[in-house]
Every structure is written in structure tokens, then in C-alpha cells.
Amino acid sequence: MPSKGELLGEAYTSLVEIDEKGVFNTIEKWLENDYDAKELLEKFAEALSEIGRRFEEKEYFLSQLMNSTLILEKANKLIAEKLAEKGVEIKSKGTIVMATVKNDTHDLGKNIVASMLRIAGFNVIDIGKDRYASEIIDAAITNKADIIAVSSMTSTTMGTLGELIGLLKEKGIRQNIKVMISGAPVTQDYADSIGADACVRTAAEAVETAESFMN
């Protein structure tokens, strides 16, 4: 049986090389050893970032990028099923509403963050991409969310993040809901300027931040 480090290497390489079989084999071996699923998903997030970089550098086509995310979607389902089969009970640590803002269709990063938050034990309501601030807030109210996690991947759509905080204040519910923001152009300075509770850069940071909000 390969070591934990070797399995993480296999996970990374097989996803970067868009090798679906390799990804699934690694998941099987990983879970047989009872290793932490969160760690494996972090490695997949790293692999997806590398695929994003290769796409930007025109080393990969859009079809390869999209295939990698389809594989990852199936991988997430497989991990959830395997954990359920093993009787691993995931107690809810809190409810998080997630979305990508209006006019922004980037959702690869959000999807991986959603999976990692679920595996970490959060009840995640992912309302998708291209969402108005008001839609995100309605979902948060309906689902009694503790946290809103929202991303803007392009600078032209970032305004919705500030609008979201303003609307929460207007409705008098700002103090009831923590807000974490993320995305390629989003900085800590920007988060401070709009009064967000946190700016996160990676899926692992999103999980740590959500956990700290609930403590």
C-alpha cells in the first residue's frame, strides 16, 4: 500500500492529468486507510488551481478544465457515499449560504470550497453563481444561516460584495450573520473597507474561518 504522501501525490497528478480512473482509485485507497477526507480535498483544490494556471497559460483547453471539474464533482459524491457507508456521522457545525455574485460565472473554486465545508461538517446551501445580493440574503434568511460565504472572481463584479453587507445592515440582521468573502481580485483591504468579517484565499482557510466563526 502506498504511503499517505504517495497517495496525495497520486491524487494531485491524476487530477492534473484529468485521469478519472486514477482519481477514483486514489479516493478508494485513501478512505480504506481512514485518512482525513479534508486533506485529500485540499490536495484536489491545489490540483484544480494548477489546472486553472495551465488553462491561463494556454497549455490546457477549456474542455480539459471543465472535465476536471466534472471528475471532481463525481469524486465529491463518491467521498460522501463512502463516508456514509462507513457510518461516519457528520454533525452540523452551522449553516452556510454560498454563492458567486451577479454577472460572475466562475464557480470552480466555490464548488470545491462547498465540498470541503460539507466534509468538515457544515450544512452548506449553495445557491450557485450569478446571484444578486438580495437573492443571497433571502436564502440566508430562509435557511437561518450563520454564515454567508460569497465570491467575486472579477473586479467588475466586486461591488455586489459591498452591496450585500449594506443590505444586511439595512435589514437589521448584519450582527446575526458572519460574512466571508473571496475571489481573485478580493483583498483584505477591500474586505476591511466594506466591513466583511473575513477575506479567505483558499478552501482550507474557508473551513478554518467558518470553524472560528462558530466557536
For ligand B12, the closer of residues 7 and 98 by Cβ is 98
> Distance between CA 158 and CA 185 in Å, rounded?
8
Using CB under 6 A, which of 45, 133, 191, 196 touches ligand B12? 45
| Residue at shortest CB range from ligand B12 | 109
Cell of 87: 457510518
Q: Which of residues 92-121 bind ligand B12 (CB under 6 A)?
A: 98, 103-110, 112-113
Give a three-class secondary structure readout of 118-177: HHCCCEEEECCCCECHHHHHHHHHHCCCCEEEEECCCHHHCHHHHHHHHHHHHCCCHHHC
Nearest distance in Å: CB 74, ligand B12: 16
| CA-based nearest residue to 154, from 189, 186, 113, 192 | 186
Cell of 184: 481573485
Spell out the long-range contacts of 4-10 with Cβ–Cβ below 8 A and sequence spacing 24 or more.
Answer: 4/33, 4/35, 7/33, 7/35, 7/40, 8/39, 8/40, 8/43
For ligand B12, the closer of residues 33 and 188 by Cβ is 188
Query: Does residue 127 touch ligand B12 according to CB under 6 A?
Result: no
Using CB under 6 A, which of 17, 32, 53, 144 touches ligand B12? 53
Nearest distance in Å: CB 92, ligand B12: 18
Cell of 24: 477514483
* Pairing state between β 198-199 and 123-126: unpaired
User: Coil, helix or strand for 186?
Assistant: coil
For ligand B12, the closer of residues 29 and 184 by Cβ is 184
> What is the DSSP secondary structure assignment for residue 192, as one 8-state letter?
H
Q: Which of residues 144-203 bind ligand B12 (CB under 6 A)?
A: 149-151, 153-155, 180, 182, 184-185, 200, 202-203
Interface map 2-41 toward ligand B12 (x if CB under 6 A) = ----------------------------------------
> What is the DSSP secondary structure assignment for residue 198, as one 8-state letter?
E
Using CB under 6 A, which of 65, 80, 90, 214 touches ligand B12? 65
Using CB under 6 A, which of 20, 22, 39, 49 touches ligand B12? 49
Residues at the contact surface with ligand B12, assessed by CB under 6 A? 45, 48-49, 52-53, 55-56, 62, 65, 98, 103-110, 112-113, 149-151, 153-155, 180, 182, 184-185, 200, 202-203, 206
